[in-house]
Chains A and B, each alone.
Chain A
Amino acid sequence: MKRRVILCWMMACAAATAFTATGSAPQRARVPGGTFATVLPPAAEQKTATVAAFDMDRTPVTNAQFAKFVAAHPAWRRDRVARVFADPGYLLHWAGPASPAAGTERQPVTRVSWFAADAYCAAQGARLPTWYEWERVGAASQTVADARTDPAWRQAILDWYAKPAGKTLPDVGQGAANFYGVRDIHGLVWEWVLDLGSMMVSADNREQGDPNTSKFCGSGALTLEQKDNYAMLMRIATLSSMQASYTSTSMGFRCVTDVGARP
């Protein structure tokens, strides 16, 4: 009986390895550089963002992938992590300090702080995507690079937001590949971005005109564009409410690497 369990485990591992090693697509998808209309304009007079080409993980990081990282970097075990880097919820759903529950290996890892996600990507020679990089990929549907004005596309995302979170998450990779070949950018988990600390969205947009009540120096909080685009604005609202040590049962991440030199 015990041997059969071990055999099954080995076969599952072999299958998982085959999926990543010999799958039809490499781990990351190429996203070409370009300029696009952003919901988070860099300045009042500039409504577009420009990103250089980058390669993005096709799927969010899984529990199995994160477990491998934790094994190699024990400082990120939930029983050893410094509280300053992760709140008490960090990896709390795992079976043990270094092992996810059986059957959850291919689910996206959640309950990871920004610091932990940042360290994971650095260990892969990668980094978290910036908001603009995430937004560029998040704007795509299966067929077009920017589907944000498509009512059906918006509604599909809002339907996911409205759906109560189930007890267990689906495995990664089940969503359809989008225009760039990236999966699960919507419909599975929220995702950390590198420049979390730059989402300076004022809690109350009315503050913006009044420097006396504004929390920020310089020209103040950002003005949001495309105010009817709740699908994207929900992301920003969620991210801007998170601090870097926070963890959440619905917040995961994926990594990117640069392609050549940045402009």
Chain B
Amino acid sequence: MKWSMVWLALGLHLFTTPLVARDADPPASLYHLEASLTGQDGAALGLDVHRGHPVLVTMFYSSCPATCPLIVDTLRATERELSAPQRAQLRVLMISIDPERDTPAALLELVQTRHIDTTRWTLARADAATVRKIAALLNVQYRQLPNGEFNHSTVVALLSPTGEIEVSSNTLGQADAALLARLRR
């Protein structure tokens, strides 16, 4: 009787514990970073919001006049090249480098104007210190100019379900061949 209770408790514990614990992440996983992000709907998120799925991660800022529309286009071009089941598995995480202007409301506006499907795509913001660390992990270089605009390198990284960078692409305007090859495996 007593033992069955113990087994039941243990079973419940196993059942409620996340399938992939943080400690079990591979050494090169970006998910080791404890980062507090806020999504376009105001929800608190971790960098591992799409844990368990292949994820395309990129950094952007929503007031960007030229490059950032192109980033969304590039991500969409990549998705279009995939089969429907592959596309259903894929997630997208766009993280802003502009914590001052990119409030959840600003992110939501971009979601609406670009008709972004938030069941699979997440736009997120974080404080400046967190942005710096995520950029360092992705090897994104960025710099705010005196006029408020940013210079930044464009990186689209494909993360494995456990958060390791599998392919990192600087290609803009079209789907990156190496990235697609990996996604189709």
Contact = CB atoms under 8 A, between A and B. Distances in A.
- Residue among A196, A197, A215, A245 with the most chain B CB within 10 A? A197
Interface in A121-163: 122, 127
A113 B40 CA distance: 32
Interface residues of B, number: 30
B32 A197 contact: no
A263 to B, nearest CB: 13
A218 interface: yes
Interface stretch (B48-56, B72-80, B112-120, B129-137): B129-137
A69 interface: no
B151 A218 contact: yes
Contacts of B142: 197-198, 200
Nearest to A44: B145
Interface in A217-261: 217-220, 222, 243-245
Nearest to B30: A84
A217 B66 contact: yes
B141 A198 contact: yes
Contact of B151 (A84, A85, A196, A220): A220
A83 interface: yes
A82 B136 CA distance: 15
A115 interface: yes
A84 B160 CA distance: 14
B145 A218 contact: yes
A198 B128 CA distance: 13
B132 A195 contact: yes
Interface in B22-51: 25, 27-30, 32-33
Contacts of B67: 217-218
Contacts of A122: 129
Contact of A197 (B33, B66, B136, B149): B136
Contacts of A194: 132
Given A115-B136, A244-B137, A216 B152 contact: yes
Contacts of A46: 146
A165 interface: no
B150 interface: yes
A222 B30 CA distance: 29
A114 interface: yes
B153 A82 contact: no
Interface in A46-90: 46, 82-85
B118 to A, nearest CB: 25
A216 B153 CA distance: 5
Contact of B133 (A115, A127, A217, A220): A115
Contacts of A198: 141-143
Contact of A200 (B30, B133, B147, B151): B151
Contact of B136 (A42, A200, A244): A244
A43 B129 CA distance: 23
B151 A215 contact: no
A35 B95 CA distance: 32
A215 B29 contact: no
Interface centre among A85, A196, A220, A243 (most CB of B within 10 A): A85
A18 B69 CA distance: 59
Contacts of A83: 27-28
A191 interface: no
A209 to B, nearest CB: 15
The 8 tightest CB contacts between A and B, nearest first, are A244-B136, A218-B151, A83-B27, A198-B143, A82-B32, A217-B67, A200-B141, A197-B135
Interface of B: 25, 27-30, 32-33, 66-67, 129, 132-133, 135-137, 139-143, 145-147, 149-154, 170
9 contacts: A46-B146, A82-B27, A194-B132, A197-B135, A199-B141, A216-B151, A216-B152, A218-B145, A218-B149
